[in-house]
Amino acid sequence: MLNFYQSGGINICGCGCPCALLESDEEPPYPPFTGLEFLDTHDTIDDHPYATAFSKFLAVGIDSDTANELAFGIRAIRY
pLDDT at 77 over 80: no
pLDDT at residue 15, as a whole number: 52
Residue spans per domain, the chain: 1-27, 31-72
Q: Which helix (H) or strand (E) holds 7?
A: strand 4-7
pLDDT at 27: 62
Question: What DSSP state is assigned to residue 57?
Answer: H
For residue 29, which phi and psi values (nearest 5 degrees)? -50, 150
Residue 1 predicted with pLDDT over 50: no
- Give pLDDT tens digits for 3-61: 444 444 444 455 555 554 445 556 666 788 999 999 999 999 999 999 999 999 999 99
Q: What is the DSSP letter of 47?
A: G
- C-alpha to C-alpha distance for 39 and 44, rounded to whole angstroms: 8
